[in-house]
Structure 1
Amino acid sequence: MDTATLETRYSIAQAAVDLYEQDPDQFTLKNVGEIVGLSTSGIYGHFNNKEEILRFWYESVVHRYRLMAAELDEFESLTLAEKISNFIYASLEMMGEHRHFVVETFDEVMYNHGETTGMITEIEKLITSFIEDDGRVPGFNRLFTGSLLYQFLADEYLHIVRFWISDESENNEKTLELVDKLTSFLEEMLYNAVATKGFDLARFLYEQGAIRIPNLLTYTRRLLPF
């Protein structure tokens, strides 16, 4: 999607949100068109229906974050936990500017549709780039990354937003604590080199004839609780 098209779609979506916040009944394609200078047919050239417009507003949060992150000189030096936390905090701040709209629409427009939304797709891409471009993730640990992990983390983002919506603590302190704990755990899991070192040790012992694979498998099975 080229920049001009993206900006037009965002203008339409933002106008829709502004109208919705004034009065949901004011959110009509005719009224949106009057704000952005497009005919109803012109809006249909970008969106198939009103709900699609609202979904794109949520998706645009990720697009806007990418542009913001690109302006940060030291962004690439951030750790994995810092990057993911930065995205979550920034996106919640963007949505917080229209909190009433988010509270009223998030479940119906986003949460109930999950992985089928453009926002989830964009979050998966973002998380994928964070993890796969991070040289601090040991090679062996990358065996545990992939589309299932990225999809799981994107889905968890939806749960975090719902938690934030219902968070009545001062300055959303509980949400901040939740994000900090989740991202710290993820970083520790992916940065930890124990699995890589264990694999290297097992390979060395095997190559030196100090251990045989059948014996190793038997010992491993004895350790497992099932």
Structure 2
Amino acid sequence: MENKEHIQQHYIEYVLEHGRQPVSVFAFAKHLGISEQEFYQHFNSFEGLEQEVWRELFETTRVKVESQEVYMQYSVREKLLSFYYSWIEVLKNNRSFVVYTANKYPGRRFHTASTELYTFRNAFKEFAGELIREGRTTDEIIDRPYLSNRYADGFWMQALFVLNFWIKDQSKNFEQTDVAIEKAVNTSFDLLGRTPLDSIFDFAKFLYQSKN
């Protein structure tokens, strides 16, 4: 019986060679010499298969960075930088499939509702949530009323920015993407950490409470 990885690989090869999905699961299964039942034991649809590919690209990256001995010594900012740099390296090995997926959308740009990224998005936001919680304990990230519960969404938007930037990057070895990652992550942590505005807010809050 064909295993999950084999079906995935043949599907990726098919869409890259034909520029489209197979006309049906039946036709694709016949192409592989397996039954529809065998396909559905692993995936509920072609869309589900593509979602799994994207989730596995994320998981491969996460395992890669977290297995490094130095990772636990990193600040939260450095952990996110390490993830993005490693993620791009993983994506380079699958660039044709990434571009194929992006070509489904206007301007070759993924957006928050891109169905292929659904399970990846959930996994990434869980990962981001862990970094956010750690960042609060190290004071790299501070709580802000009405905003803190949106931090994970903000990091997801950042991941989409990195992905879309890389897809369109024409620089040698995608060097501009590395620069974009550094600037995006540094800016986000500069904003999520304590800023002069937080001091002003705390002072105003103190004055208000003192009057009451």
In the other structure, the counterpart of 2:192 is: 190
Residue 142 of structure 1, CA deviation: 1.8
Normalised by the length of structure 2, the TM-score is 0.75
CA pair 80-51 structure 1, distance change in 2 beyond 3 A: same
State which of 145, 163, 175 in structure 1 corresponds to 2:165: 163
Distance 2:104 2:21 in 1: 19
Distance 2:63 2:31 in 1: 25
Normalised by the length of structure 1, the TM-score is 0.71
1:96-145 Cα deviation digits (max 9, x unpaired): 11212211212538925337711111111111111112322267x22365
CA pair 26-143 structure 1, distance change in 2 beyond 3 A: closer
CA pair 45-147 structure 1, distance change in 2 beyond 3 A: farther
In the other structure, the counterpart of 2:80 is: 84
Alignment root-mean-square deviation, CA: 3.3
CA pair 71-138 structure 1, distance change in 2 beyond 3 A: closer
Higher mean displacement: 55-64 or 67-76 = 67-76
In the other structure, the counterpart of 1:126 is: 127
In the alignment, is residue 55 of structure 1 matched against residue 35 of structure 2? no
Partner of 2:69, secondary structure, is coil
CA pair 31-81 structure 1, distance change in 2 beyond 3 A: farther
Partner of 2:163, secondary structure, is helix
Maintained 8 Å contact 1:14/1:57: no
Runs of 5+ in structure 2 lacking a partner?
A: none
1:9-41 Cα deviation digits (max 9, x unpaired): 55543442234334447966427855xxx6431
Q: Tell me how many residue pairs correspond in the alignment.
A: 199
Distance 1:195 1:117 in 2: 35
Distance 1:181 1:200 in 2: 28
Maintained 8 Å contact 1:80/1:187: no
Residue 91 of structure 1, CA deviation: 1.5
Residue 166 of structure 1, CA deviation: 0.9
Maintained 8 Å contact 2:65/2:82: no
Distance 2:171 2:93 in 1: 18
Partner of 1:48, secondary structure, is coil
